[in-house]
Amino acid sequence: MTVKNVQPNRPTLLLVHGAWHGSWCWDPLRAALDADSWTTRVLDLPSAGDESAGIHEDTQVVLRELSAIEGPVVVVAHSYGGVPVTQAVAQAPNVVHVVYLAAYQLEVGESLLGFHGAAVAAEPRGVTPPLGDPVRALYGDVPQVFAEAAAARLVPQSVKSFSEPVTRAGWHTVPSTYVVCELDQAVPSASQEDMASRADAVHRLPSHHSPFLSMPVECATLLTKIALEATS
């Protein structure tokens, strides 16, 4: 957990990373938010690097972080991070809004693999490495030097986290916004549009999968707009 800035009457932004990543991926976005005096918090999901951890372990980490925050929280989930966030916000009374940033806004009974129609093992084990060409798939619009540096920090993701189904869907009771990344090569925009139909509002960015790295200022502007509207 790390914290930046304190601004009265604004919600805290809790940023939850996706598969293979860590809290480090939010640094450029946090710098943009910090410049506008927003309070941000980040965490590291155990499923990134630990094959024994799945969505339930990740959910507990999100819940612990939420319980340590005073006042209203807007949770921003990226990609796989939407799965444990969906579970956690159903149990966190201080969450006032959820933002799904090219993230998995799943229904009860769905898993990440199942959403895409892939086979799910009864007892998933092991890890899955980052996508074959992460620079292209995850960072297509990030400057090459920064994309390669980010790709070098990726870690294997537990198969368990991709396979376990959601048992609670907090977006049924907590307002949500979906941000579609229109040029995404990792989560197809058509899949994002399907999940976006479950949200209360939809925005779009002309970005690939990681706008927090490719367009952090634009991403910060959109997220703060959503957060202010959620608490006005």
- As averages over each run of 10 residues, the pLDDT of the chain (232 residues) reads 59 98 98 97 98 97 97 98 98 97 98 92 88 93 97 97 97 98 96 98 98 98 96 86
Q: Give the global pTM.
A: 0.95
As given in the structure block, the two tokens for residue 216 are 């952090």
Nearest to 210 by CA among 143, 155, 161: 143
For residue 2, the tally of other CB atoms under 10 A from its CB is 11
Determine the CATH number of domain 2-231: 3.40.50.1820
DSSP 38-77: --EEE---TTBT-TT--HHHHHHHHHHHHHT--S-EEEEE
* Whole-number CA gyration radius for the chain: 16
Query: Percent of the chain, pLDDT > 90?
Result: 91
The rounded distance, in Å, linking the Cα atoms of 202 and 200 is: 7
Per-residue pLDDT tens for 116-170? 998 888 788 899 999 889 999 999 999 999 999 999 999 999 999 999 999 999 9
As given in the structure block, the two tokens for residue 104 are 């998995």
As given in the structure block, the two tokens for residue 27 are 């640094």
Nearest to 120 by CA among 73, 78, 164: 164
Query: Percent of the chain, pLDDT > 70?
Result: 97
